[in-house]
Amino acid sequence: MTNLNKLEAYQLSCVRDDRVLFSELDFTLNSGHVLLIEGANGAGKTSLLRILTGFRRAESGNLFWNEELIENSVHFYQDTAYIGHNNGLKVALTAQENLRYAQALSSTTLSIDEAMAQVGLDGYQDTLVRLLSAGQQRRLALARLLCTHKPLWILDEPFTSLDRASIQLFEQFIETHANQGGLVIMTSHHETQLPHTLMQKIHL
């Protein structure tokens, strides 16, 4: 991940049910930075993330990935990973089958076994995802981030249903990713401790 990436937002605004959630939001996120989005329930954190992933159109404003509008950029989806409230895992498939599918759809870095070992799920390769606990499923989603090559991570409440050790592990991976030149955008209710990274905050 040596090449530098940049995500820029200009004058974003979002209206939902006639309520203005936020307006005229500007930010620039460079390689190696982490953007933490804070705000109360219903403040528009998830809406903002869905705008940043391009799933939802902002009421006004533009988003640029490496100076290209994300709607027109061929690289944006190639470079972006998203973990939402759902993990995007098929519960009727095994952990390994899920990761193999994810790898077939994008560029791969680590092998599946390495990624699973890093998140502490070694030995669960052939276990059906349905039989994993909620926290383990979340870890598997993290393993998917690790084994595919995606510079930009967009994480919606990544620490949900994780225990303290797993949260620390997750934070460590976020730091490593940022220090290797990746970009991370995340929302979180937890006190997020990332002392070794350049952290920007947006309060909605």
Partner 1 sequence: MKTSSLLNAFGAVIKRDLLLAYRFRAELINPLAFFVMVITLFPLALGAEIALLKRIAPAIIWVAALLASLMSIENLFRADYDDGSLELMVMTPHPLSILVMAKVMGHWLTSSVPLLFIAPLMGMMLHMDADIIGVLMLTLLLGTPVLSLIGGIAVALTLGLRKGGALLAILVLPLYVPILIFASSAIDAAMTGFPVSGHLSMMCAILFLALTLTPLPTAAALKMSLS
- 178 contacts 34 by C-beta, under 8 angstroms: yes
**Rounded least distance, CB 5 to partner 1, Å:** 15
- 106 contacts 148 by C-beta, under 8 angstroms: yes
Q: Which C-beta is closer to partner 1: that of 112 or that of 201?
A: 112
Please return the burial class of 84, using the count of CB atoms within 10 Å of its CB with bins 0-12, 13-18 and 19+: middle
Q: Which residues of the shown chain bind partner 1 in the complex (CB under 8 A)?
A: 50, 53, 55-57, 74-75, 77-78, 80-82, 84-93, 97, 100-109, 149
**Rounded least distance, CB 84 to partner 1, Å:** 6
Please return the burial class of 155, using the count of CB atoms within 10 Å of its CB with bins 0-12, 13-18 and 19+: buried
Alpha carbon 169 to chain centroid, angstroms: 15
Q: Which C-beta is closer to partner 1: that of 75 or that of 196?
A: 75
**Rounded least distance, CB 81 to partner 1, Å:** 7
Cα R_g (the chain), whole angstroms: 17
**Rounded least distance, CB 8 to partner 1, Å:** 19
* Nearest one of 157, 152, 153 to 167, comparing CA atoms: 157
**Rounded least distance, CB 28 to partner 1, Å:** 22
- 29 contacts 85 by C-beta, under 8 angstroms: no
Pairing of the two strands 6-16 and 183-187: unpaired
Q: Which C-beta is closer to partner 1: that of 105 or that of 191?
A: 105
Q: Which C-beta is closer to partner 1: that of 91 or that of 134?
A: 91
Q: Which C-beta is closer to partner 1: that of 145 or that of 167?
A: 145
